[in-house]
Amino acid sequence: MDEFSVLLVDDEKEFLETLIKRLRKRKLKVTGVTSGEDALRILKETPPDVVVLDVRMEGMDGIQTLREIKKVSPLVEVIMLTGHANLEVAVEGMEVGAFDYLMKPMDIDELLYKLQDAYKRKTIQEQKIKYLEEEKKIPSPLLGEG
């Protein structure tokens, strides 16, 4: 599996820092921010492959942040973190375009699987786009003659 970059967004600092350490130990490129606003800033500077986003945050909440993220870079996959089995929020997140969601506190391995799945989907999407773009670049012989 290639190394890919992850952006963690959670306003609980202790949680965020520990999770960053654990994921880095698992050879992931991880950065963390404590608010949706910071996340959007990072997204513009160094876009990550996958974003892990807490739903309940001060200021901009998870769903709002998710909408903004999808506006700026639709190819970035987002995994939501919620406090409990709140399907309303989960479904809303999925509708807006989240990849999946997890309940806090979560199992680190589960998170890893989800991250990998999300990254896989991202690469497939990117390849598809690349392929489509290349097809466009090759001029059509019919068009050339005409």
Q: Residue 16: which of 41, 36, 28, 34 has the closest Cα?
A: 34
Question: In the β-sheet with 77-82, what is the strand arrangement from edge to edge?
Answer: 29-33, 5-9, 50-54, 77-82, 100-103
- 86 belongs to the binding site for another protein (CB under 8 A): yes
- 121 belongs to the binding site for another protein (CB under 8 A): no
- 14 belongs to the binding site for another protein (CB under 8 A): yes
Distance CA 77, CA 93 (A): 12
Stretch of 30-38, 71-79, 102-110, 131-139 lying at the interface with another protein (CB under 8 A):
102-110
- 91 belongs to the binding site for another protein (CB under 8 A): yes
- 12 belongs to the binding site for another protein (CB under 8 A): yes
Question: Which of 84, 137, 138, 145 is the binder for another protein (CB under 8 A)?
Answer: 84
First to last CA, the chain: 46
Question: Which of 18, 46, 123, 127 is the binder for another protein (CB under 8 A)?
Answer: 18
Between CA 100 and CA 83, with CA 74 as vertex, the angle to 5 degrees is 30
Residues of this chain that bind another protein (CB under 8 A): 12, 14-15, 18-19, 21-22, 25, 56, 83-88, 90-91, 103-106, 108
